[in-house]
Structure 1
Amino acid sequence: MNADITGHHAGPHAVVVGGGIAGLAAAHRLALAGHRVTLLEGDGRLGGKLLAGEIAGAPVDLGAESLLARRPEAVTLARTVGLGDRLQAPATTTASVWSRGELVPMPKGHVMGVPGDPAAVAGLLSAEGVHRIGTDLELPPTEIGEDIAIGAYVAARMGHEVVDRLVEPLLGGVYAGDAHRISMKAAVPALFEAARVHPTLTAAVHAVQRAGAATPADAAGAATGLGGSAFLGVRGGIGTLPGAVADAIRAAGGEILTGTPVTALVRTGATGWQVVTPHRTFDADAVVLATPAPAAAGLLGGHAPQAAAVLDGIDYASMALITLAFRRSDVPALAGSGFLVPPVDGHTIKASTFSGQKWQWVSDAAPDLFVLRTSVGRHGEEEQVHREDSDLVAASLKDLAAATGLTAHPVASTVTRWIGGLPQYPVGHLARVARARAAVAALPGLRLAGAAYDGVGIPACVASAHRAADEIIGEFADEIIATSKRTDPGAGHSL
């Protein structure tokens, strides 16, 4: 490879493997820092689990649909690539829980479903369940050690009902996992740290809430310029973000190749790499592996076997999104942005989002339609995701009718499957990831990024990408500065 192929940069050549949002963010960061960048994606499209689509002519996200706004990474990236004026807060954020056959408003004043006041969940839990939460104050402190499953810990302190009816559906929406397996340290780190120093879980929840009050939603709103919303969407869909980042990479001189799976990673000399694809081999000074963990493990096997073993052991859950469009005139009045479903009640769907009510851009584009989506699939429920499209639509309609009274037939439906889409974070996950990262970092110019490491949300993926890119930039800083001075004597100061 040379500068004529990849653009105007003549700096060290970085190859990014994987074109999801993490790979794109890493490539963007590296290109802006003066690296020659080549991004290789095995699929025919970029974006991974970010996918913009349409139903009955209405634009809609068929993958991730929002950004956590209280973390800056994803919002800043969106602004940097020109989407700042399209960021949009939800039109409504009031949600419900479909529990024991009733839609109950989501309680306020909780931390990932863990209440600070038993009275807040009185409408959702039985009288016994509410009473059990209060007994937390009478229990001796629980030793939680280096990590603990959040479901097991909360159940021991406050009872199983709060886990079944609130913690489980909230965590299931993020990880599609089992609260009794999910690492508290990884999934709810602020609560984990508070629980280590406070005698009761209630006191830990209050500590997290006080910390949040010290940096209120208004501060997040000031940072984004969009009020105090915890989440933001993008007009036209979060799925438009990958294309905007890709355009910025190309504008910075980077090369992006889709339909180009990487089959091997070969060490060359003391510091170099060869990235092998079916039709071409790329010489690289640095490589970022931004693929799902099993693919990264396959490429690392001969170079960092300990890291490969860790990554190969990361489990994934699959899910399906069923997007439905109805004539608005056929839909009864529905409250809020949607509802969560506790798995203990045995329904097929685990949540429903009223997209046309939650996002103004959806209803603006198709005012005569009401667009909603349901999600199906938790860890260990692969058979649900692989049901026929028509079965998933029928099951969704059955549950929607029972929950909301919606009995209309949709004018259009589409099913999007995300097979192996959500990495699982069991107890000890962060410690295992740290060991894998350390083993990889011992190899010059090689780093990991993506949803398998520090969080499955878009900001967490972007943060992992920036961490990987910044470490590589640090390794090659002297070379980049020297290159910039050779090509443009006045450019060195800007790096």
Structure 2
Amino acid sequence: MQRSTNRVDTGTGHVVVIGGGIAGLAAAHRLLATGLRVTLLEATDRLGGKLMTGEIAGTQVDLGAESMLARRPEAVDLARAVGLGDRLQPPATATAAVWTRGELRPMPKGHVMGVPGDPAALGGVLSPEGLARIAQERDLTPTAVGDDVAVGAYVADRLGREVVDRLVEPLLGGVYAGDAYRLSMRAAVPQLFEVAREGGSLLAGVQRIQQQAADRRQTGPVFQGIDGGIGTLPDAVADAVRAAGGEILTATPVLGLTRATDGWDIRTDTRVITADGIVLAAPAWSASTLLAAESPAASVELAGVEYASMALVTLAFRRSDVAATGALDGRSGFLVPPVDGRTIKASTFSTHKWQWVADAAPELFVLRTSVGRYGEEDHLHREDAELVDVSLRDLAEATGLAAKPVDTEVTRWIGGLPQYPVGHLTRVARIREEVAKLPALRVCGAVYDGVGIPACIASAHRAADEIAADLAGEIIATPTLVQGTRSEAGQ
């Protein structure tokens, strides 16, 4: 028996946002500031996507993304706009290490996504042969890059595979859970791509990037967290959306989109909602399905986007047990190059990195490990207890930590991170070109302009502004940010 649907006519100036991750929420927030009416539909019973808090030993912690780039304004500005400005917090320490060649070694300073400006800082991380290979770089002829090139392939050609395997891979793996030898330099590290296009020495190019940054005299932290967790940001944005008159419906999957004479019909499992415009802030596979009928070309392109899955293992120890072993120092954590053959790819010492975690649980030491890279997802099929055990074994070998945790939590992010292979930006351009042929429909999210929180928000703002302009029939001024219900004092 087919379920009957009720067609709900909401009038004009109405935009439906499909997807309740940070991109969808940011799009809804932006649209409301232009005076449009907004309904946000989220298929699951939770908002926030990969931003999520939970509890470990009774303490609230992030179980997804834990920080946001502060040198881009979008995420910090949104947090302030929704009343979280007084809760922004830089890392208490950002002294990271690399677990390689059997030891924890300081992360070399002065690099761009692992590509060094000063090879002298790489002793111990690279072998003598690897350092000698870097010394040959200035005598090499320029490497052609064309319209795009894989980060790993280019850096290996210029500086040798050791730089990629020991430094670039673990850093890019932390951002994309990807393979440096597949990832697009143009999409993932555009600064390096511009250097590569100029030709000449990569080392000299990295030094120029560093000097330009010094000349700009950038101050303030590179990254920011939020007291209580980055996972509190989606709820704060949702509160602001509701306060401004927006409607948010969770557990409401969208089953189809159909163009109507006066806009769009959005079919859920209980009704049909009419809208003048749509912002599609869903993962690529979902967007592909929803666009199959109205934009087959965009649907095919979206279906080709691959994803990596990963798991986070959060562990809480008695702080006295950790101190007794002398296992952990003041580091914020460490990265693990895949070439070393370990299971975990990184560990973050949350109690050291975030003062709010240390203050919230003074008797505990909280840390987490991450498992899973693109093409290496067998580990994710293990039971939770197995992932905890393998994390403890790797931690013990890396740090000497012998304490037993008092609580554990395993969070799986299946299909969590879209991959940006060579040519990704060209694919994105084709998707947007096809989608733009549809009336008042735009796409946004981690698939398009970057997987970081600021990039997702910027993508959402672009989509919202274009929809608003479409519906207004002209380009509109940048809207005023919608204020949240939380005050800057955290009330």
Quote the residue 1:347 is aligned against: 342
Per the TM alignment, residue 335 of structure 1 is displaced from its structure 2 partner at its CA by 3.0
Is contact 1:118–1:131 with CA below 8 Å preserved after alignment? no
Distance 1:440 1:374 in 2: 39
- Counterpart in 1 of 2:267? 276
Matching residue of 2:440: 445
User: Which residue identity is paired with 1:278?
Assistant: D
Cα deviation, residue 480, structure 1: 12
Aligned to 1:265, which of 242, 257, 266? 257
Q: How many angstroms does 1:117 deviate by? A: 1.7
Q: How many matched pairs?
A: 465
Residues 301 and 427, structure 2, Cα contact 8 Å, conserved in 1:
yes
Asked if the contact 1:343/1:350 (under 8 Å) is kept, the reply is yes
Task: Give the Cα separation in 2 of the matches to 1:120 and 1:306.
Answer: 48
Match of 1:240 in 2: 232
| Secondary structure of 2:254's aligned partner | coil
Task: Please list the CA deviations of residues 27-81 of structure 1 after superposition, one character each: whole Å capped at 9, or x if unmatched.
Answer: 0000111111000000000000000111001111000000100000000000000
Native 8 Å contact 1:14 1:37 kept in 2: yes
From 276, 297, 300, the counterpart of 1:309: 300
CA distance in 2, matches of 1:330, 1:440: 56
CA-to-partner distance for each residue in 1:409-435, whole Å, 9 max, x for gaps? 000000000000000000000011011
- Mean alpha-carbon deviation: is it higher for 325-334 or for 202-211? 202-211
User: How far has the Cα of 1:5 moved from its partner?
Assistant: 10
Which secondary structure state, in structure 1, belongs to the residue aligned with residue 136 of structure 2? Answer: helix
TM-score after normalising by structure 1: 0.92
Residues 72-111 of structure 1 correspond to what in structure 2 (within 5 A)?
A: 72-111=73-112
Number of the residue aligned with 2:247: 255
Q: Is 2:231 the counterpart of 1:230?
A: no
TM normalised by structure 2 equals 0.93
Q: CA deviation at 1:116?
A: 1.1
Indicate the residue corresponding to 1:223 in structure 2: none
Could you tell me which amino acid in structure 2 is paired with residue 240 of structure 1? T
Give the structure 2 partner of residue 12 of structure 1.
13
Separation (CA, whole Å) in 1 of partners of 2:280 and 2:380 = 28
1:432 is aligned to 427
Question: 1: distance between equivalents of 2:454 and 2:9?
Answer: 31
1:399 aligned residue = 394
The residue type paired with residue 143 of structure 1 is A
CA separation of 1:209/1:34 partners in 2, compared to 1, >3 Å: closer, same or farther?
Answer: same
Among candidates 276, 281, 285, match of residue 276 of structure 2: 285
CA distance in 1 between partners of 2:132 and 2:171 (Å): 22
Is the CA contact 2:50–2:65 (under 8 Å) kept in the aligned structure 1?
yes
Distance 2:475 2:466 in 1: 14
Q: Evaluate the alpha carbon distance shift between residue 413 and residue 327 of structure 1 in structure 2; reply closer, same or farther with a 3 A threshold.
A: same
Gaps of 5+ in 1: 219-227, 482-495
Sequence identity percentage? 68
Deviation at 1:247, TM superposition (A): 0.5
- Per-residue CA deviations over 1:150-183 (Å, capped at 9, x if unaligned) read 0010001100001000000000000001000000
Structure 1 residue 187 corresponds to structure 2 residue 178: no
1:247-267 deviation digits (Å, cap 9, x = unpaired): 000111100000000010001
Give the 3-state SS of the residue equivalent to 1:476 in structure 2. Answer: helix
- 1:334 deviates by 2.2
1:116-137 deviation per Cα after TM superposition (whole angstroms, max 9, x unaligned) = 1211211311111111112110
Cα contact 2:12–2:276 (8 A) shared by 1: no
Alignment CA distance shift 1:438-1:5 (3 Å)? closer
Deviations 1:75-109 (A, max 9, x none): 00000000000000000000000001100000001
- Alpha carbons 1:11, 1:34 under 8 Å: kept: no
- Residues 194 and 207, structure 1, Cα contact 8 Å, conserved in 2: no
- How do 1:22-101 and structure 2 match up within 5 A? 22-101=23-102
Residue 202 of structure 2: aligned partner: 201
Structure 1 counterpart of 2:135, which letter?
G
Structure 1 CA distance for aligned equivalents of residues 381 and 433 of structure 2: 37
- Pick closer, same or farther for the CA change 1:161–1:17 going to 2, 3 Å: same
Letter of the structure 2 residue corresponding to residue 264 of structure 1? G
Q: Which residues of structure 2 form unaligned runs of 5+? A: 1-7, 477-491
- Match of 2:342, SS? coil
- Alpha carbon RMSD of aligned pairs, Å? 1.5
Following superposition, the deviation at residue 400 of structure 1 comes to 0.2
Q: Distance in 1 between matches of 2:354 and 2:12?
A: 43
1:387 and 2:378 are equivalent in the alignment: no
> Contact 2:9–2:273 (CA<8 Å) still a contact in 1?
no
Q: Is the 8 A contact 2:151 2:185 kept in 1?
A: yes
Contact 2:469 2:475 in 1 (8 A): no
Contact 1:11 1:480 in 2 (8 A): no
Q: Counterparts of 2:40 and 2:474 in 1: how far apart (Å)?
A: 21
Q: Which amino acid aligns with 1:345?
A: D
Q: Within the alignment, does 1:363 sit opposite 2:364 as a pair?
A: no
- Does structure 1 retain, via aligned residues, the 8 Å contact 2:333–2:349? yes
Kindly provide the amino acid, as one letter, of the partner of residue 465 in structure 1: A
